[in-house]
Structure 1
Amino acid sequence: VFCLHVVTLVKSVLFHRRNPLHFHFITDTVANRILSSLFQSWMVPSVQVSFYDADELKSEVSWIPNKHYSGIYGLMKLTLTKALPPDLSKVIVLDTDITFATDIAELWGIFRKFTDKQVIGLVENQSDWYLGNLWKNHKPWPALGRGFNTGVILLYLERLRRIGWEQMWRLTAERELMSMLSTSLADQDIFNAFIKQNPVLVHQLPCFWNVQLSDHTRSEQCYTEVSDLKVIHWNSPKKLRVKNKHVEFFRNLYLTFLEYDGNLLRRELFGCPSQANPESVQLQAALEELDEDDQCYDFRRERLTVHRVHLYFLQYEYTPTEDDTDITLVAQLSMDRLQMLEAICKHWEGPISLALYMSDAEAQQFLRYAQASEVLKNRKNVGYHIVYKEGQFYPVNLVRNVALKNANTPYVFLTDVDFLPMYGLYDYLRRSMVQLDMAHTKKALVVPAFETLRYRLSFPKSKAELLSMLDMGALYTFRYHVWPKGHAPTNYAKWRTATTPYKVEWEPDFEPYVVVRRDCPEYDQRFVGFGWNKVSHILELDAQEYDLMVLPNAFMIHMPHAPSFDISKFRSSSSYRNCLNTLKDEFHQDLSRKYGSAALKYLTAQRTI
């Protein structure tokens, strides 16, 4: 949740800014991983990002009892003179629930208005909290008048270090805690008690730099025209439900940045070309090397596109199993397949890693969908990773790789989101991995794939039931009508009576769904849209001498859906099909270079087709 708020705040800052920026984040290891991968893949010019480990700072503030919902993290603003680099002289400190309506440089400019003594810039509190009359026996911490809100702070670090800030705030906190026992508003209580003792140190900012929208504020008295506003602070856990005559305006501003296309923020700053990071320079060089007259130019360009990635978009919790046989279901999807998620969760109880290819606005729709679903809300072992849309093709293998790389178990089940695994498959696969000694051998376990053309299917409870549905025509072997080659090598005739796993040989165009160790090769990202994206992966597994073992009591069923946009493009465009052939040839050549003579069989197989 913290990361979702941060992204909206960052978008609003980037949208208005005209200068290079340096963000400093104090995070735990999870948020660090999410945000560092997001910024790396976002590639916004003239932006630097630094991270500081919150765990190392906890001991500085963990002695302070705090009743505020921000917990220990709310108190960490007190530690910034110590946490941030000693050569950093000034910093703007922001809560995550802030939205900017102007260039942050204007706020930075206020440092110039500080007198020699002033070290902290704050906006007056717009609620009556510190006046102490909200309810009977309400006893707030001491504050100067209405007190100050610490959602937006200008900190003059250099001067704070000089006056011994660290010791001063500690003494203040220790003294007040003797009678107050705990903080109610985290760092804000301690800042206010400190300012009451040292009023000359504070520079009061105009109230439009922190318009506070919680239930008890007088924020409307702060401004006459909404056009005067600079910063909106949603300092209420109820976010969009606060009462204010301009709440629609505020809500729309917030929602605009929530759903704003972050790719648009990658534009260069006018007059700042020197700030380009090395990755963008390399990327630019690679793009310039492409031949625009090449009929596959669009495909090659797609391969160089860097997609923004937001890992763990929703809360994720995973506890490793005692033995080393845990397995993650890995799949990718776009908005039109969302309805499959609940069914998959009901069929597979193990961990899941899903990469979702979406725009910013679709990601918010997905968030609302997941929050409204009882099934998805109750499943914490599903990692949802957003890959943001860009370019004209669906980068299917790149999206698959995001899901694969973020699986946390030793084994992965590589599938597609429109398949429902049989009930109990998770446990059956874990038993099979032990029986087949997958920890010490190179095996890919094939889960036979079937399909139904019926939208309402009573799902078979066993292999026997599946076979009778197959005989009655309620089910078919997967792609039997349109692409039998893709799954024929599974040898369905043998599977009908098999009771033990059996080995099958690779054949051209074979694309089964498999269980492998997580360190298997990644998918080849030159294949985008429709065609050859899974085939190339199985081909490489075979080149690496994985044994393909079909499991006798496993199955999965493909559920019907409308055809994807990419398959329609493939069927209607001859240049698309020609280009796919060119990419296949290049893939084969690369495979031969990588695996030597062992890979020649793929070339000859390709030529005889």
Structure 2
Amino acid sequence: MRIKKKWFVLLGLSALFVLIALWSFHSKKKTTDTKARKKQQIFIRQLMEENYILKKNIRDIKAQIANKYDSGNHSCFTSSHGINKCEVIHIAIVCARYNSSRDVVTLIKSVLFYRRNPLHIHLISDPAARLILQSVFETWAVPALEVSLYLADDLKPEIQWIPNTHYSGVYGLMKLTLPKTLNKTLEKVIVLDTDITFATDIAELWKMFLKFSKRQSIGLVENQSDWYLGKLWRNHHPWPALGRGFNTGVILMDLKKLRDISWMKVWRTIAERELITLLSTALADQDIFNAVFKQYPHLVYTLPCQWNVQLSDNTRSHHCYSDVSDLKVIHWNSPRKVKVKNQHIEFFRNLYLTFLEYDGNLLRRELFGCTGQNKPLAIIEKKISTLNEDDDCFEFRREGILIYRTHLYYLDYDYVPIENDVTLVAQLSMDRLQMLETICKHWQGPMSIALYMSDGEAQQFLRFALASSILMSRRNIGYHIVYKDGQFYPVNHLRNVALRQVRTPFVFLADIDFLPMYGLYDYLRKTVVELEVSSNAKKALVVPAFETQRYRFNFPTSKTDLLAQLDVGSLFTFRYHVWPRGHAPTQFNKWRTATTPYQVEWERDFEPYLVMKVDQIPAYDRRFVGFGWNKVSHALSLDAAEFEFIVLPNAFMIHMPHAPSLDIAKFRSSSLYRKCLKTLKAEFYNDLFEKYGAKAAKYVPE
């Protein structure tokens, strides 16, 4: 019995040694692979953790909202915060330049997520931000949200005399002018910086006005850094302040009281006096506000610090909260913004990212019990209500009239007009993003690009662009985000969005998966002059289209080089093997030997890529979404309007291979899709008859 036990022990030990030896051999063999995979696994794990936190954050916030709504007072007249549920809450924001417009959208998302009252937003902006914000809010079409725009240039004479070293420049001083700038009938307003994130209903903050004494006219949170104590470094001489001073990222302004005390005269007198010795402001308006309160302390009401949890460096913000439920407003008041150091920075950052990537369409919630909430959305809803939901093509018709949220000039844009300039117009979705860098190498001129993306994808695009030296070196590209909505890719709507932002006299109507020949930009600028395209004559210049089926090939450097590649079969005329009718009218055989431009006649299904005078181009027909007849209908409209199609002999563009789009797959697999496209074509023909009469008969299929 003992011998057997010893035998089993020896056998077990032997097996263990064999296993250890095998494991050791296997480990040594794969050491290199393991190290290579380790970094990848860490990166993937980090992404998964971030994704989990974001999703959890959204669930938690939604749960908080649901709890608040369930436990609140839902009477028809009073909200859970003790104010009339239909009382309009007024918000003022100074927003200048392109980056600030993105910040404003994130801020407003956080406000809309929690709000239960109508809002009126007053935006003070420079011309660039004004254009962007006007488009954002008009297309967002949020119920019970009104927006008023004020030109910052009108305010500059009041404050540009003040020397200011703060990075916000002259715009950082404009909040001082609000009692004079805003409508005289407006009695109170909440003033917010753009780098603010709300974590509760703004009505709670609005209610704080009720706590003001008769003399108090401004509500602020105490400054959470030691700036105004003057101890941050040697020879630090801040502006005068009460104790720690106050932060102006969140301000409650009783405008009526401020006007009664001649606010503009009060702050100006004090600022002039302090500038004699201090020479300039370091923290813009905040320095002047604090100097006023130092002399007139009765004007200020101290808000609880949860209403402005400041995340700049060296702050005492952690004293403002002991639990997540204590948080009201998070203020990223550091030049480093979300990269600032803080013991709870991951939580704050994830809360911010939640709203950054939150689907803004979900915030188009109606506020029940308050009338006259949103006219544009009501008009669209009325149009949709007239559609027959039993119609097989209901979704196609619905998406032809949707309002797509649009954020123009998502990145910095600085175009200086030059004579006879040509803008390339194109559109794309996330799966074509990689083409941007390549097309930049082929086209040096201005571009107007519409990008169809979700809120989350827009942030991915932003990160991609900021990390790209090629894209960041260009300031003549207007990137316009059109946010996803519906089931189909709204290709013609995207083209219209990009087309409306063209600031040159001529435009090249292209697609993002085509690469222009090297030098095409300069060639077109000369050609539009030679062919007198700027005249009243209706001319559409055709850029011949070719394609390659190779992902890697030597891009032709000249027409001669292209013809050689055509002859050996590494290039083809575009879609010759699946849809030759689309470009057959270009007459490629004639183009091979042509040395001068030649005119061609329109033929059925012609869909060329064109260069035209921008103010002559008709809008693309929005009813054509997804795949099929989007460019064909446009070329047909041009022919009906009696445009001449002129082929350029020394120009070309090449289509690059890529995976088929989802809409092409739908078209090929769905008989209903093809049936609806046929129906929309018939309706398009009927519209042509109404517009052009009998001469439109040639367009109807036999």
Fold match by TM threshold 0.5: yes
1:226, distance to aligned residue in structure 2 (A) = 2.7
1:282, distance to aligned residue in structure 2 (A) = 1.9
Correspondence 1:537-556 to 2 at 5 A: 537-556=634-653
TM-score (norm 2): 0.85
1:443 aligns with 2:443: no
Q: 1:589 aligns with which of 680, 686, 691?
A: 686
1:224, distance to aligned residue in structure 2 (A) = 1.6
**What SS does structure 1 have at the residue aligned with 2:540?**
strand
**What SS does structure 2 have at the residue aligned with 1:275?**
coil
1:111 aligns with 2:206: no
Task: Report the AA paired with residue 569 of structure 1.
Answer: K
1:285, distance to aligned residue in structure 2 (A) = 1.7
| Residue in structure 1 matched with residue 513 of structure 2 by the alignment | 418
Q: 1:472 aligns with which of 539, 558, 568?
A: 568
1:342 aligns with 2:437: yes
Radius of gyration: which is bigger? 2
1:284, distance to aligned residue in structure 2 (A) = 1.9
1:222, distance to aligned residue in structure 2 (A) = 2.0
**What SS does structure 2 have at the residue aligned with 1:534?**
helix
Q: 2:607 aligns with which of 511, 522, 540?
A: 511
Q: 1:96 aligns with which of 194, 202, 209?
A: 194
Cα distance in 1 for residues equivalent to 2:434 and 2:381: 39
| Residue in structure 1 matched with residue 671 of structure 2 by the alignment | 574
Cα distance in 2 for residues equivalent to 1:292 and 1:166: 58
| Residue in structure 2 matched with residue 276 of structure 1 by the alignment | 373
| Residue in structure 1 matched with residue 142 of structure 2 by the alignment | 44
| Residue in structure 1 matched with residue 455 of structure 2 by the alignment | 360
Task: Report the AA paired with residue 138 of structure 2.
Answer: Q
- 238-247 or 458-467, which deviates more: 238-247
1:278, distance to aligned residue in structure 2 (A) = 2.3
Cα distance in 2 for residues equivalent to 1:187 and 1:6: 19
- 193-202 or 263-272, which deviates more: 263-272
| Residue in structure 1 matched with residue 480 of structure 2 by the alignment | 385
Cα distance in 2 for residues equivalent to 1:216 and 1:482: 65
Tell me the number of residue pairs that the alignment of Structure 1 and Structure 2 aligns: 602
1:404 aligns with 2:506: no
1:19 aligns with 2:117: yes
| Residue in structure 2 matched with residue 526 of structure 1 by the alignment | 623
Task: Report the AA paired with residue 188 of structure 1.
Answer: Q
Q: 1:163 aligns with which of 239, 248, 261?
A: 261
1:537, distance to aligned residue in structure 2 (A) = 0.2
- 1:25-49 per-residue CA deviation (whole Å, 9 max, x = no partner) reads 0001111111111111111000000
Correspondence 1:181-192 to 2 at 5 A: 181-192=279-290
- 1:542-597 per-residue CA deviation (whole Å, 9 max, x = no partner) reads 11111000000000000000000000000000111011011001101101111222
| Residue in structure 2 matched with residue 257 of structure 1 by the alignment | 355
1:276, distance to aligned residue in structure 2 (A) = 2.8
Cα distance in 1 for residues equivalent to 2:598 and 2:299: 78
1:275, distance to aligned residue in structure 2 (A) = 2.7
| Residue in structure 2 matched with residue 492 of structure 1 by the alignment | 588
Task: Report the AA paired with residue 145 of structure 1.
Answer: G
| Residue in structure 2 matched with residue 326 of structure 1 by the alignment | 421
TM-score (norm 1): 0.98
1:121 aligns with 2:216: no
1:304 aligns with 2:401: yes
| Residue in structure 2 matched with residue 8 of structure 1 by the alignment | 106
Cα distance in 2 for residues equivalent to 1:281 and 1:378: 43
Gaps spanning 5+ residues in structure 1: where? none
Q: Which has the higher contact order (CA 8 A, sep 6+)?
A: 1
1:270, distance to aligned residue in structure 2 (A) = 2.7
1:293, distance to aligned residue in structure 2 (A) = 1.6
Cα distance in 2 for residues equivalent to 1:30 and 1:146: 36
- 1:212-249 per-residue CA deviation (whole Å, 9 max, x = no partner) reads 00112111122222320000000011111212111111
| Residue in structure 1 matched with residue 34 of structure 2 by the alignment | none
1:268, distance to aligned residue in structure 2 (A) = 0.5
**CA-atom RMSD in angstroms:** 0.7
- 1:437-473 per-residue CA deviation (whole Å, 9 max, x = no partner) reads 1111210000000000000111100000000000011
1:277, distance to aligned residue in structure 2 (A) = 2.4
**What SS does structure 1 have at the residue aligned with 2:153?**
helix
Q: 2:126 aligns with which of 28, 32, 36?
A: 28
Task: Report the AA paired with residue 308 of structure 2.
Answer: N
Gaps spanning 5+ residues in structure 2: where? 1-98
Cα distance in 2 for residues equivalent to 1:597 and 1:464: 45
Cα distance in 2 for residues equivalent to 1:70 and 1:11: 23
| Residue in structure 2 matched with residue 316 of structure 1 by the alignment | 413
Task: Report the AA paired with residue 534 of structure 1.
Answer: K
- 1:296-328 per-residue CA deviation (whole Å, 9 max, x = no partner) reads 11111111211001000111111111x3x1110
